[in-house]
Amino acid sequence: MTQAPATSRAARRQHDREIVALAVPAFGALVAEPLFVMVDSAIVGHLGTAQLAGLGVASALLTTAVSVFVFLAYATTAAVARRLGAGDLGAAIRQGMDGIWLALLIGAAVIAIVLPTAPSIVELFGASDTAAPYAITYLRISALGIPAMLVVLAATGVLRGLQDTKTPLYVAVGGFIANGALNIGLVYGAGLGIAGSAWGTVIAQCGMAVVYLAVVVRGARKHGASLRPNTAGIRACAQAGVPLLVRTLSLRAILMIATAVAARLGDADIAAHQIILSLWSLLAFALDAIAIAGQAIIGRYLGADDPQGARAACRRMVEWGIAAGVVLALLVVVSRPLFLPLFTSDSVVKDAALPALLMVAFSQPICGVVFVLDGVLMGAGDGPYLAWAMVLTLVVFTPVALLIPVLGGGLTALWGAMTLMMTVRMLTLWLRARSGRWIVTGATR
C-alpha cells in the first residue's frame, strides 16, 4: 500500500527534473530572439525617426516570416525525439538533416520572392515616403539572412528533439552579443547607417547557423547519418509541417484581427493594446518554454513505445502549466502600477490598459494549459488536429471581436474576447488529450 505513492512521487520528481532541465534553457533562448530586434531598434533609433520607422516596417515583415516558418522547429523536434526514443540516434539525426535541407530550400525561395518585390511589400504595409527607402534597404539585405534564420529554426528543433536545450541557449546568447557588436561597428564605425544594422544581423545569423550545422554534422558523422539531401525525407518534413503552418497562420490572423479592432477603438486604445500585447508575448515565452519541454519529452516516450510514460508526463506538464499560469497572473496584478509607466506617461492610455491587464492576468492559468497541451500534441505529431482546432478557434473569435466596436465595447472587452479565444483552444486541446487519440507509439507516427 505504501509502495505506489512512493513510486508516484519518484516519477513526478523525474518528470520535474526533465521539465526544468529542458524548459529553463529554452526560455533563455526564446527571450534572446526578440532582443535582436530591440538592439537593432536602439542602435538605429539614434540615426533618425525615418530610419527607425523603416526598421519597424522591415523587422515586422521579417518577424512574421520567421513565425510563419516556426513549424521547421516544431515538426523537427517531434520527429527527432521519436527516433531518439526508439533508440536509433542515427535516424534521428538523419531526420534532422531533412528538416535543415527543407529550411534551406524555403529560404532560397523567400529570397527569390523578397528581393524583387521589396518596394511593393513595403508600400503595401503603408510605410511613409521618408521611411520607405530605409525599409526597402533593410528588408533586401536582411532577406539574405533568411536561409540562415530558417536553418537555425530547424537545427534548434534537432537539438530539442535530442533533449538538448542548452546548446540553443548558448548559441542564442552568442548571437545576441555578436549582433550588438556588429551593429555598433557597422552602423557607426563603418558609417553604413541602417544598411550596417541589416548586415550586422545577417552576419550574426549566419554565424549562428554555422555553429548549429557544425554541431549537427559532428553528430551525423559520429552516428553514421548521411548528410546528403533525401527527397523522400524532405517531402515528409514538408507534409508534417503543413498542418502546423495552417495552425500558425490561423493564430497570426487572430492577432492581426485583434490589432485591427483595437485600432478602430481609438488612438489611446491601440496604444494600450500594443503595450498589453508586448507583455502577453513575454508571458507566452515563459509558458512556451514548458511547451518545448513537452514536445521533446512526449516525442521520446512515444518513440520508446511507452504510452503510460507519455500520459504521466502530460499530466505533470499540465500541472506545471497551471502553476506557472497562476504565478504569472499574480506577477501581472502586482506589477501593473510599475509596468505601464515603462511604456507611457499618458494617463488616458494607462486608464485604458489597467482593466485590460486584469483580464490578461485572469487568462494566464488558461494559457498555461493551452501552451502545455499544444506542446504535447506537437510532440505527438498530431499536427492535423492542431490545425483543425486553431481554424475553429479563429471562426469563433472573429465575429466576437468584430462586434466589439459595433456594440460599444472597449479594450477590456477585446481582451475578454482574447481570453475566450484561449478558452476555446483549451477546450479543444483538453478534449483531444483526454481522448488519448494522440497517443501513437513508434519511431514514426
Nearest to 396 by CA among 429, 424, 360: 424
Dump pLDDT digits (tens) for 292-301: 999 999 999 9
Q: Is the pLDDT of residue 321 over 90?
A: yes
The answer to whether the pTM exceeds 0.75 is: yes
Mean pLDDT score, 134-156:
94
Backbone angles phi, psi at 46, to 5 degrees: -80, -10
Dump pLDDT digits (tens) for 232-276: 999 999 998 999 999 999 998 998 898 888 888 887 888 888 788
Per-position DSSP letters for 62-120, written without gaps between them: HHHHHHHTTHHHHHHHHHHHHHHHTT-HHHHHHHHHHHHHHHHHHHHHHHHHHHHHHHH
CA distance 231 to 102: 10
CA distance 233 to 220: 15
Sign of CA dihedral 146, 177, 77, 430: negative
8 A C-beta contact, residue 204 and residue 182: yes
Q: Is the pLDDT of residue 112 over 70?
A: yes
DSSP state letter for 186: I
Say how many C-beta atoms besides its own lie within 10 A of residue 360's C-beta: 23
Q: Is the pLDDT of residue 3 over 50?
A: no
Give residue 432's identity as a one-letter amino acid code: R
Say how many C-beta atoms besides its own lie within 10 A of residue 408's C-beta: 8
Nearest to 96 by CA among 32, 36, 164: 164
CA distance 229 to 97: 8
Backbone angles phi, psi at 366, to 5 degrees: -65, -45
Mean pLDDT for all residues in the chain = 90
Q: Is the pLDDT of residue 167 over 50?
A: yes
Mean pLDDT score, 347-354:
84
8 A C-beta contact, residue 300 and residue 80: no
Q: What is the pLDDT of residue 2?
A: 41
Alpha carbons within 13 angstroms on the beta-carbon side of residue 5 total 2
Q: How many residues does the chain have?
A: 445
Dump pLDDT digits (tens) for 45-80: 778 888 888 887 888 788 777 788 989 999 999 999
Q: Where do the DSSP E strands lie in 107-157?
A: none
Show the cell assigned to 70.
516556426
Mean pLDDT score, 14-21:
89
Q: What is the pLDDT of residue 56?
A: 79
Dump pLDDT digits (tens) for 212-239: 999 999 999 999 888 999 999 999 999 9
